Amino acid sequence: MAKRSYKFTAKKHTKQGMASSALALLALILLVLGLLLSFRMAGKAGAAAGLVGFASMAASFAGFVFGVRGFHEEDVYYFFSQIGVVLNGILFILWVLIFVAGM
């Protein structure tokens, strides 16, 4: 019979890490929305697509900052901070590449 082990702890997830992950999801949704808007209007979406793209880029940057701040908390789980930093970092780099390619 397998030995069961239970782990009881008072650790919680970081609030800043959860905010970081939520901002990553928001940035991803805005990225898809902006790209769909631009493709449907055949590249003539104008300021609407630019605003959505800028909001996505700002959300990914803010999410990255929140994720890094979440690593400074003690005696907590860092799962959401790790997810948020990775996703927001990838999304921010993707947006930088999109803007550079568009210049």
What tens digit of pLDDT does each residue of 24-70 get? 999 999 999 988 888 888 878 788 888 888 899 999 999 999 999 99
The mean of the pLDDT values for the chain is 88
Distance (Å) of CA 26 to CA 3, 8, 9, 101 = 42, 33, 31, 23
Query: Per-residue pLDDT for 90 more than 80?
Result: yes
Which of 44-53, 71-80, 81-90 comes out lowest in average pLDDT? 44-53
- Using pLDDT thresholds of 50, 70 and 90, give the confidence band for residue 18: very high
Q: Please tell me the total count of domains within the chain.
A: 1
The 3 state secondary structure assigned to the chain is CCCCCCCCCCCCECHHHHHHHHHHHHHHHHHHHHHHHHHHCCCCCCHHHHHHHHHHHHHHHHHHHHHHHHCCCCCCECHHHHHHHHHHHHHHHHHHHHHHHHC
What is d(CA 63, CA 97) in angstroms, rounded to the nearest whole number? 18
Name the residue range of residue 94's domain: 15-102
3 in a domain, yes or no? no
Q: Under 8 Å CB-to-CB from 55, ≥6 apart: which residues?
A: 30
Domain assignment of residue 52, yes or no: yes
pLDDT beyond 90 at 4: no
Identify whether 42 is part of a domain.
Answer: yes
pTM as predicted: 0.82
Please check whether residue 22 lies inside any domain of the structure: yes
Question: Could you tell me if residue 8 is inside a domain?
Answer: no
